[in-house]
Amino acid sequence: MPLTVLSDSDVRSLLLSLSRADVLDLQHNLAEALHQYSTGTNENGCCSMYQPQRISISPKDGQTTLFMPASTSTSIGMKVVTLADAVPSVAPSASSVKSDNTLTPSPSIASSQSTTPRGSLTLFDSTGSPLGLINAEELTAFRTALASSIILYRRSQVQTVTVFGAGKQAFWHIRIALLLRGHDIKRVNIINRSFNRAQSLMQEFYSADHSEWRSDTKFSILSSEFGEYNRLLKEEVRKADVILCCTPAIDPLFPADHLTATEGRKKGRYISAIGSYKPHMCELHPDILKQAVTAAHHHHHHKHAASEGVVVVDSLTACMQEAGEVIQAGLTPEQLVEIGELWMVKKAAMKEIEKGGEGERGLKNWIEKGNIIYKSVGLGLMDICVGEDICRLARERGIGTMIENF
């Protein structure tokens, strides 16, 4: 098989050409890989025992380089990316939330340099033969959004979507949400420090390429540059059916009270937080996670996943070590459930329901209507799984450069 080389423009062109059916196919493959990651058997290449912990190098130039090896049943590989470090503000976390429950956005790396990971993914087949070399910029954002969409796709209420951020992650989270649930999403609100960046992102979805979304979905922008920012922020957070946090935030994006107070708990929401990836970084206030796991602390998360009491994560091990929200909230492994493990329980329950049994109807109800927080720091497995599918599609569609006998 020839080596497939995909530049950043190749990857973006391919991903933009994906149909709803294509995205659902890729989502299914990723969900299966994450399911196998959580099963713990050594019979499958996606098993966690075959996914080494990533290695990071952080010299004094304000950059961190991550080395992320991983494998599936049919391929092995490693992604190497470099990204700008997030430097803590003088007084982190709670300092950004004043006593009157207003919020002052703290300095972030977004204001001075790009937060997009730069690097590549190298793929090999199961025999070690080179399979693909893929630019990682669009791939990283796409695979992260694809994983977030696994739960979003199954939510019953997605009419109002609030997105924090205006970069590649925000773009792909919005695009995939619209591809999969566009007929149900009536409003997308983009919240960002910079109005101009948010406006640029919004204009991408009003382009001719996305005309089919215009009539059904309305876009709006909220910037911290607005005079009524704190009041409007509270309104937008509480109105949202889905909250997608896509920023390398150091401090919480909004006060915990917006969701933990009685008024904020009147509806079920799906919250995805994927932007922070180090212990000092935090998109969601720790009190939000504390409330989520204490609401039904007497339940065991495997048998009673339908109730509140757990936070969903991509990797329990990685999030316990790297997820600022999880660490700062002081959560224990018993208060986390991997999305692959959750899907293992869901699949068994749905099969029982199909056969006429009761199954875990509460679990189905929680996934569709309950309060779910999904925290992700990213797995190399996601890159390998999605990268392999992208290579296959590129060969089928004649995209990229093919090198014979590499």
pLDDT digits (tens, 9 = 90+) for 8-20: 999 999 999 999 9
CB 150 within 8 A of CB 31: yes
Residue 305 pLDDT exceeds 60: no
Instruction: Report how far residue 287's alpha carbon sits from residue 258's, in angstroms, rounded to the nearest whole number.
Output: 11
H-helix or E-strand containing 286?
helix 286-294
CB 319 within 8 A of CB 377: yes
Phi, psi of 120 (to 5 degrees): -150, 160
Nearest CA among 38, 3, 223, 299 for reference residue 123 = 3
The rounded mean pLDDT for the chain is 86
Instruction: Report how far residue 104's alpha carbon sits from residue 302's, in angstroms, rounded to the nearest whole number.
Output: 39
Whole-model pTM?
Answer: 0.89
Residue 331 pLDDT exceeds 70: yes
Residue 90 CB burial class (10 angstroms; 0-12, 13-18, ≥19): exposed
CB 73 within 8 A of CB 382: no
Confidence of residue 342 (pLDDT cuts 50, 70, 90): confident
CB 364 within 8 A of CB 54: no
Percent of the chain at pLDDT > 70 equals 83
- Residue bearing the bigger pLDDT, 325 or 361: 325
What are residue 163's DSSP bridge partners?
Answer: 190, 244
- Residue bearing the bigger pLDDT, 63 or 362: 63
- Residue bearing the bigger pLDDT, 214 or 337: 337
- What is the structure's pLDDT at 44? 79
H-helix or E-strand containing 368?
helix 361-369
Break the chain down into helix, strand, coil percent, rounded to 5: 45, 20, 40
The most confident of the ranges 205-214, 215-224, 305-314 is 215-224
**Distance between start and end Cα atoms, the chain:** 9
Q: How large is the average pLDDT for residues 366-370?
A: 89
Instruction: Report how far residue 97's alpha carbon sits from residue 107's, in angstroms, rounded to the nearest whole number.
Output: 14
Of 9-13, 104-108, 167-171, 311-315, the one with minimum mean pLDDT is 104-108
- What is the structure's pLDDT at 18? 95
Instruction: Report how far residue 345's alpha carbon sits from residue 150's, in angstroms, rounded to the nearest whole number.
Output: 15
Helix (H, G, I), strand (E, B) or coil at 325: helix
- Residue bearing the bigger pLDDT, 255 or 360: 255
